[in-house]
Structure 1
């Protein structure tokens, strides 16, 4: 279930309220006239099944609430009441199958916004990965993967490409490029300083590394894992299953490749530079492509399911459901 908090201009309040009450996928509708002051209007709250949320948002956008009022969504962890259960039964499909496109797009823009915290986390993760290379530590490789914040931006890039949002696509791509360039440069500088004081030398990178040598030697399995991880990551975000993202973080070799690349350049191991760069590119491209395909499949499957339900007469009041946020 999703909880909607709406601020509705008084001249549209009755119309919005009637639409919510008439929707079988909506429950627990409340209204407090004149409760809102900025923007001014009536406060309306309700619980909506995930399957019905996109359709409700389409109607709210058509009423101008995105411009003249306010729409806020939060996830409801548990709704054991009979009314909520009845709303869930009235909605077609399972909650995880429905994509709330407005939420997906909003999250994508937030991820692509960039902040100093993003750059710091990516730099720290790359530095941890470089230490993992020097010490040949698989544990540190996993730690670097978990610290790295890049998947959210990769997912935003996939959303931008799928929904053909040029601004979002450009912002996401530039943030990925700038973030990794900065992280690699700063890590390379740190490696040069470490070499100056005698902590590391080229042999630490070129020596046999049975636990971390895979980082600069990409193969077909690198592409396979990137595709699988990209699909799992985007699916976990669109289905509201964020707990699966940890598995995505420790599956891909983006940050470790960046750390290996920084060391290879700083300590000059030229035969590893190309491999590390290729590993980084394969993982980023594979995750992005898989994310686009996953979003496409989700839309196709959901639309096909609704069409079948409409033909059978099951989705009666829910007919005409569409994905908002795609224009």
Structure 2
């Protein structure tokens, strides 16, 4: 169940209420006239099932409510309502499967922002990955994978392509490229310092590493795992049950590959660098393609559910 909150100019409120009152999925409808100060107007609230959100939001956007006022959607964690339960039963589709595109797009924009927090997490994850490679530690490798924030902008690439948000596409690409450039660059500096202090030797970088050799040796399985993980990750961020993201983070080796690139550059080892670059590109490409395909399938399926919902008879006003 979602809580719908609308700040509406007074001139639009009657039209908005007519739309909401005529929809079987809407319950708990409340209108408070003249309470909004900025922008001046009315406050309208309601409860709707997740699977009913997209057509309603699309209608409200056509009315320019988002430009003249605001539209907010918030998940309701616990609710007790007979009318709300009946509304969910009447609305085709499953709440857990429903993709609320406004929510997905907002999250994609938020996680594609190139900011200090993103760069800090990615750099720290890359540094930990480089230490994991030197010590040949699987535990540290997994820790670096979980810490890395790169899946957000990778998933945003798929959202941008499916929803035709080309500004989002530019933001996600910029964040991915700039983030890895900064993280690898800073890790190179730290690796050179460690080399100068004698903490890391060439043998540790180029010698046998049975636990972490997969980081710089991509193969068909690297791409297959990236595709599966990308699809699972997108399902987690678009559904109401985000249970698969941890598995995504520890399935792909984007951050460890970045750490290995930094070590290879610091010790001028070309085979290490190019193998890791290939691993990084394979993983990013696999997740991006899977994310796009998963979102495209979801959009196709939900575009068929919406007409079924709209074709149902409305209650009499």
User: Structure 1 length normalisation: TM-score?
Assistant: 0.92
1:127: which partner in 2?
127
Mean alpha-carbon deviation: is it higher for 295-304 or for 177-186?
A: 295-304
Once the two structures are TM-superposed, the CA of residue 72 in structure 1 deviates from its matched residue by: 1.2
Change in CA separation of 1:317 and 1:205 when aligned onto 2, cut-off 3 Å: farther
Q: Distance in 2 between matches of 1:254 and 1:196?
A: 27
Native 8 Å contact 1:91 1:315 kept in 2: no
Secondary structure at the aligned position of 2:79 is classed as coil
2:233: which partner in 1?
233
2:302: which partner in 1?
302
**Equivalent pairs, count:** 315
1:203: which partner in 2?
203
1:161: which partner in 2?
161
What does the per-residue CA deviation read over 1:201-228, in whole Å, with 9 as the maximum and x for residues that have no partner?
1111111111111111111110011001
Native 8 Å contact 1:235 1:294 kept in 2: yes
What does the per-residue CA deviation read over 1:140-198, in whole Å, with 9 as the maximum and x for residues that have no partner?
11110111001011111111122222211111111100100110111011000001011
1:219: which partner in 2?
219
1:187: which partner in 2?
187
Give structure 1 stretches of 5+ with no counterpart: 319-327
Q: Distance in 2 between matches of 1:142 and 1:239?
A: 25
User: Structure 2 length normalisation: TM-score?
Assistant: 0.95
Q: Distance in 1 between matches of 2:223 and 2:249?
A: 15
Q: Distance in 2 between matches of 1:305 and 1:68?
A: 29
Q: Distance in 2 between matches of 1:10 and 1:237?
A: 36
What does the per-residue CA deviation read over 1:276-326, in whole Å, with 9 as the maximum and x for residues that have no partner?
00100000000000011001111122234456x47xx974449xxxxxxxx
2:175: which partner in 1?
175
Q: Distance in 2 between matches of 1:103 and 1:316?
A: 28
What does the per-residue CA deviation read over 1:52-82, in whole Å, with 9 as the maximum and x for residues that have no partner?
1011111211222111111111111122311
Q: Distance in 2 between matches of 1:84 and 1:152?
A: 33
Q: Distance in 2 between matches of 1:228 and 1:32?
A: 48
Secondary structure at the aligned position of 1:252 is classed as coil
Native 8 Å contact 1:33 1:41 kept in 2: yes
1:97: which partner in 2?
97
1:252: which partner in 2?
252
Q: Distance in 1 between matches of 2:38 and 2:142?
A: 46
- CA-based RMSD of the aligned residues comes to 1.6
